[in-house]
Amino acid sequence: MLKKLAKSIREYKLPSILAPIFISGEVLMEVIIPLIVAELINQGINYKNAAGEIVGNADNLIKIGLILVACCLISMILGTLAGDFAAKASTGFAKNLRKDMFYSIQNYSFKNIDKFSSSSLITRLTTDVTNVQNSYQMLIRIAVRSPMMIIFSFVMAFYIHPKLGSIFLCVVPVLILGLLLIMKFAFPLFMKMFKIYDNLNRVTQENLRGVRVVKSFVREDFEKKKFTDVSDSIYNIATKAETIVAFNSPLMLMCVYACMLLVSWIGAHLIVGSGGAELSEGELTSMFTYTMQILMNFMMLSMIFIMITMSRASAERIVEVLDETPDIHNPENPLYEVKDGSIEFRDVDFSYSSDMKKLCLSDVYLKINSGETVGIIGSTGSSKSTLVQLIPRLYDTTGGTVLVGGTDVRDYDIKTLRDSVAMVLQKNVLFSGTIKENLRWGNENATDEEIIEACKLACADEFIRTFPDGYDTYIEEGGTNVSGGQKQRLCIARALLKVPKILILDDSTSAVDTHTDALIQKALKEFIPETTKLIIAQRISSIEHADKIVVLDEGKISAVGTHSELLETSEIYKEVYSSQNKGGLS
């Protein structure tokens, strides 16, 4: 896991190395300062003359005082530089981590994406990365500073007086045991909390996306309760976790005060009993400083352990995203040219799961010539969308082969294949930006004339010109400021700008009236005759003039033929046609 995360440090390796180096210098200065203070007291304030009387020494005070000030200034400069480099390293690491995760997600196939919810991915890209960033900064700063300070302070304490220094050896096992117990019980709770964060994001996301539905059905109270329930769950688990973590503070303070009392008591006896020969006042003052340094840095170490406990759960979730291997990838020697728009399904089976008993498509054999218009119809759940998603390799077949231009789709370069296939999905998506910016997703170099021509074919030009800003009209996030039919026509125009060899319309005219639908079908047939067109539709009127119509039933091809042929040979098609005609008459 650590090795995987470390790859995201990259160009921030130098700040990551410099931060600990400067921290080491700062620690060295802070360890030396108590010794200088001891000398200041012994050789300056408590300086004794030849007769053994305390008379003080102004020259020593000034000389040692200047050394003390210089050490403090050096310590401050080194600490500032260490903080600066640590901040650059941690924020840069977080930036790269988010970039690496986002790039990984972009390479996912639909099957990979199905493993993660969108709310979970958002949490991982934000909250989880922030937790790891904070931990990384603490690791290259405090995790270096605290152990060094503890070790150096131990050495100096034993150097001053071994008996007093041994007090700390009794406290350390208590602290370590306490920290291990806190980590053991807190980690599972933090792991559970982050999973509920995913649920919180999901509830919020659903509510914001469906706010119009919520208001139209007057379900605000229900949505508030959903949010409150999830929020309360996070509160309860976070409270339990933080309650366990809170034991760290009293444990540390107990150890600090115990050490201070023991050092004071034993130190006072040593000074009084030996008349200052075994331990001087300055040395006792230094011991108090080293006591605080050792125990305060143990407290800092405990904070690091707590942060690592929290971020470990986040790190594991991030690595899950980075480790997810796209199941669709380029072959060793890919083809970079699609000859034509012919399509062939050879004994195709497909399942969304690894269970071969749960096939969505089975024994599909279908041949489509380049330039043909093919209608696909079937009941809800008959796997119409699944069938066409196999063509641009949004999914790979479980069994059998899909050929485009006479070649197995798995032999093509993925970008080349998908550039040759334009697909208007069932869920039409527009991005925030102008109409032109949205349409140029189909062809980023498209001229204004090409954009207008594509919009005319999709019957979108007319309504676009009614907007005050025309093609520069701003589309809100998700296309909320245009109607369903307008959104569909913009998505069709965007697909046409690709000038594809294969055009797939997945129920993409369901929100337009039958007259506009007929105009779109006519324009597609007349202006892009060489493009193979696959039209999934619920209305027979949308596909009755197709060269052939495919009837799907429960993942199998029930019948193939023209409109007139199917009326005679297919009971399913005849039933759909009859029901729609009756509906029209009524």
- Full 3-state SS string of 160-199: HCHHHHCHHHHHHHHHHHHHHHHHHHHHHHHHHHHHHHHH
Contacts of 238 (CB under 8 A, 6+ apart): 193
Work out the average pLDDT over 475-499.
87
Q: Is the pLDDT of residue 483 over 80?
A: yes
Instruction: Output the 3-class SS for 50-91.
Output: CCCCECCCHHHHHHHHHHHHHHHHHHHHHHHHHHHHHHHHHH
Same domain, 404 and 504: yes
How far CA 327 is from CA of 117, 397, 415, 545, in Å, comes to 18, 11, 15, 38
Q: Is 44 within the bounds of a domain?
A: yes
Q: Tell me the two tokens of residue 566.
A: 């199917």
Exposed (0-12), middle (13-18) or buried (19+): which is 510, by Cβ within 10 Å? Answer: middle
Q: What is the structure's pLDDT at 585?
A: 40
Residues 526 and 496 sit within 8 Å (Cβ to Cβ) = no
Work out the average pLDDT over 223-240.
89
Show which of 323, 355, 373 is a domain's final residue. 323
- Going through 326-390 in order, the beta strands assigned E by DSSP cover 343-350, 361-368, 373-378
Same domain, 279 and 363: no
Same domain, 530 and 439: no
When pLDDT is cut at 50, 70 and 90, the band that residue 584 belongs to is: very low
Same domain, 347 and 482: no
Q: Is the pLDDT of residue 515 over 90?
A: no
- H/E stretch holding 502 reads strand 502-506
CA 583 to chain centre: 48
Length of the chain measured in residues: 586
CATH number at residue 244: 1.20.1560.10
Work out the average pLDDT over 400-413.
94
Nearest CA among 45, 96, 498 for reference residue 318:
96
Q: What is the structure's pLDDT at 474?
A: 92
Q: What is the structure's pLDDT at 586?
A: 35
User: What is the tens place of the pLDDT at every residue in 323-354?
Assistant: 888 888 888 899 999 999 999 999 999 988 77
Domain count, the chain: 3
Q: Are strands 399-404 and 407-408 parallel, antiparallel or unpaired?
A: antiparallel
Q: What is the structure's pLDDT at 547?
A: 92
In sequence order, the β-bridge partners of residue 433 are 475
Same domain, 99 and 206: yes
Q: What is the structure's pLDDT at 552?
A: 93
Q: What is the span of the domain harbouring residue 546?
A: 343-420+500-585
Q: Is 330 within the bounds of a domain?
A: no
Of residues 554 and 289, more confidently modeled:
554
Q: What is the structure's pLDDT at 112?
A: 81
Give the chain's mean pLDDT: 85
Work out the average pLDDT over 54-73.
82
**Dihedrals phi, psi of 580, to nearest 5 degrees:** -70, -35
3-state SS class at 372: coil
Q: What is the structure's pLDDT at 168?
A: 74
**What is the Cα–Cα distance from 230 to 341, expressed in whole angstroms?**
50
Same domain, 464 and 412: no
**Dihedrals phi, psi of 502, to nearest 5 degrees:** -130, 130
- H/E stretch holding 220 reads helix 220-246
Work out the average pLDDT over 552-558.
91
Same domain, 22 and 69: yes
Q: Tell me the two tokens of residue 494.
A: 């965007």
When pLDDT is cut at 50, 70 and 90, the band that residue 481 belongs to is: confident
Count of CA atoms in the C-beta half-sphere (13 A) of 301: 21
User: What is the tens place of the pLDDT at every residue in 98-151?
Assistant: 999 999 888 887 788 878 877 788 888 988 899 899 889 888 888 888 888 888
CATH number at residue 410: 3.40.50.300
- H/E stretch holding 391 reads none
Of 46-60, 340-354, 553-567, 568-582, the one with minimum mean pLDDT is: 46-60
Q: Tell me the two tokens of residue 487.
A: 């959104």
Q: Is 358 within the bounds of a domain?
A: yes
Q: Are strands 502-506 and 474-475 parallel, antiparallel or unpaired?
A: unpaired
Q: Is the pLDDT of residue 32 over 60?
A: yes
When pLDDT is cut at 50, 70 and 90, the band that residue 52 belongs to is: low
When pLDDT is cut at 50, 70 and 90, the band that residue 536 belongs to is: very high
Same domain, 117 and 172: yes
Same domain, 315 and 447: no
Same domain, 544 and 580: yes
Listed ranges 34-48, 201-215, 266-280, 400-414; the one with the highest mean pLDDT: 400-414
CA 410 to chain centre: 29
Q: Is the pLDDT of residue 526 over 50?
A: yes
